[in-house]
Amino acid sequence: MENEYEEKRQYPRYSVTADSLVLWHKCAGRVLDISEGGMAIDIIESPESLPEKWETIFHCPTTDTRIDGLRLQLVRQESAKTSDFGIITQTVGAKYNNPTGVQRAQIRQHLGHRNS
């Protein structure tokens, strides 16, 4: 078969090569890719399990973007990995959970910076 995997995402995703982070209570993660519908995050695993829904701060110094109170909902969770340095990370996929109009505009603006 030529195409065994069919892309089901509603919005195109853009790879993030540098400094985009999400921060929340006792956790931080590096954004791996982002779209108008959600993002993939590589989190440094904390002793607490990740909730199904949580609120974050999204920050990207390169585009001067900061989105406070951005609500996310877990949609995918990969197995944890341990780096050569003993750091445990886990990649998760999350969609935005009822973002405000202002937050949606900030996401679009951030994506516009990435494409210019």
Element (H, E) at 109: helix 101-115
Residue where the block lists tokens 């590096």 = 30
Whether the per-residue pLDDT at 103 is higher than 90: the answer is yes
Query: Model confidence over 80-90: pLDDT tens digits?
Result: 888 888 888 88
Query: Model confidence over 33-77: pLDDT tens digits?
Result: 999 999 999 988 765 678 899 999 999 998 889 999 999 999 999
Note the pTM of the prediction, 2 decimals. 0.82
Specify the fold of 14-115.
Thrombin, subunit H (2.40.10)
Task: Return the structure tokens found at 2.
Answer: 């030529």
Each domain of the chain, given as residue ranges in start order, spans 14-115
Query: Model confidence over 7-35: pLDDT tens digits?
Result: 566 788 888 867 888 888 778 899 999 99
